[in-house]
Each structure stands twice: as structure tokens, then as C-alpha cells.
Amino acid sequence: MKKKSIRIVVAMLVFGAIASLYYVYIGNKFEGVSEHIVMYESFDVENTEDWYVATVEDDNVLDDAFHIRDGKLILDKTDDNLHLYLLSKPLALSKDKILRVRRTIKVNSGSGYFSGGMAIFQTNTNKRMLNLKAENNKGSALVLVEYVDKPRADSKRGSKKGVRILTPYWDKDGDVKHISSSVYGRFVEEEIVYDASTGESVYKIDGEIVDFETVELSDEYIRVWMHAYGEGEQQSIEVDKITIEIFDKEAGELYD
């Protein structure tokens, strides 16, 4: 009886170990899959249905400038020295929700002034393409994040190197948040959490956290915009993946 019991226990332990390994495998295979995700992009292939590439200077769409290398989207410059940006299609968001945008990026600040970054816009149009004749055709900004290297001493946005977070009224109230640690030349995790009903928000990058407050949501859609603006050479932002999630208001643990 004792030998039989031992065999049963051993069999149960082996089965448990196999089941655990299978769960880890499945969990890794479907990493990032969630009922809250409204967009997930790993940039393995060009996805011109959800995103498009255009130039910062004139909003000229250049789908052939969708540069992907080793599963990373590369935002840099065209041969004509124009800066490229990536813009998402409009995503529906209501005021009783919480938005979370997560990215894995590598910032290459190169030589000269650099202020590449990302922004979240709100808009009332669900059209993918921008109206080039309209003013503020991307919508109104909820938040702008910039990765600043070799900053200008006379900049109204601040002369500190590092990451800065700006809300729509930064030029009136002077409220610009700064994270001074270096995020250049290596892949880092970045996250923005935005409460659409209050404007209360959290920004995280490379383990550092900043709380800030922006405007409440007043439009029906949001768009995510990212670019690598700079005035030097060898400047780019590599995007490994981006996840956009929308949660119900009660998901307050996102602030933890």
C-alpha cells in the first residue's frame, strides 16, 4: 500500500509539473492578449490599416516609409531630411473608461538637438486619414511626452535633459514634468494611464513614475502619435511593440 501511495503521489507531482510548464508556455505564447486590448502591434509586418506613416513637416502620407527591421518599427527621416511620424487610426473612448498605452522603445538621440516623443490626441472624427485642410487635424492633445537630448537653453519647455511630460496648458501654467534619468540607446518600457473622466494620469518609463493631471475627455475618439524629431544625425526611435487598452472605471488598481 505504501509503495502504491508513493507512486500515486509521484504521478500527481509529475502531472502537476507538466501542467505548470504547459501553462507557462501558453501564457508566454499569448502574452499581451486581454479582453481590454483594443490594439496590439508588434510590427512584424506593415500594418497600414491601423497605422500610417507621414511627415511631420507637411502630413504627407508615405506608406512606403513604413520601415521595419528585425521586428522593430524605425521612425527616422526620409532621404529629403523630413521627419517621419506614426499615427494610429481613431479608437473609441468614453468618459467612464481608463486608457492605458504601453510601448517598448529604443531612443537613439544621435548628434544635435533631439525631442522625439509621443502624444495622445482626442478627436471627434473616426476617419483614418487626416483632413489636410483642417486646423489641428489630429485633434487636441491630452498629453505630449518628449525625450530630450542636448536641450536648448532658451526653451520654454525647459532646458533639462531627459523625459518631459506636457499637458495642453503647459505654456500658460508652466507645469512641465521632468524625469531626468537617461533612456537613450537601450530598450525601455513606457506606459501612460489616463482617467478619461477626471484627467488624472500616470506616466511610467524604465521604472520611474510621475503623476500628472490633464484635461478630461470631451471627444469620442483618441489617436496615438509618435515621432523622432531631431536636428542632428543618426536620430531615430525604434518601436518594438505597443499595446492600447481600455478599462472600466472601477479598475483603479492601474494607479498602483
What are the residue ranges spanned by the domains of the chain?
Answer: 1-31, 35-255
Measured distance CA(48)–CA(53) in Å, rounded: 8
Please, which pLDDT band fits residue 136 given cuts at 50, 70 and 90?
Answer: confident
CATH annotation of 35-255:
2.60.120.200
Highest mean pLDDT among 30-44, 51-65, 127-141: 51-65
> Considering the entire predicted model, what is its pTM?
0.81
Nearest Cα neighbor of 86 from 50, 42, 44, 113 is 50
Residue 35 pLDDT level (bands cut at 50, 70, 90): confident
Tens of pLDDT, residues 210-245: 999 999 999 999 999 999 999 999 999 999 999 999
Asked if 129 and 250 count as a contact pair (C-beta separation under 8 A), the reply is: no
At 51, the amino acid letter reads W
Predicted confidence at residue 23, as pLDDT, reads: 32
**Average pLDDT score over residue span 173-191:** 85
* Contact residues for 206 (Cβ-Cβ < 8 A; gap 6+): 181, 183, 188, 189, 190
C-alpha to C-alpha distance for 62 and 81, rounded to whole angstroms: 14
Which amino acid is residue 197, in one-letter code? S
Cα separation, 120 vs 138, in Å, equals: 10
Helices (H), 118-192: 170-173
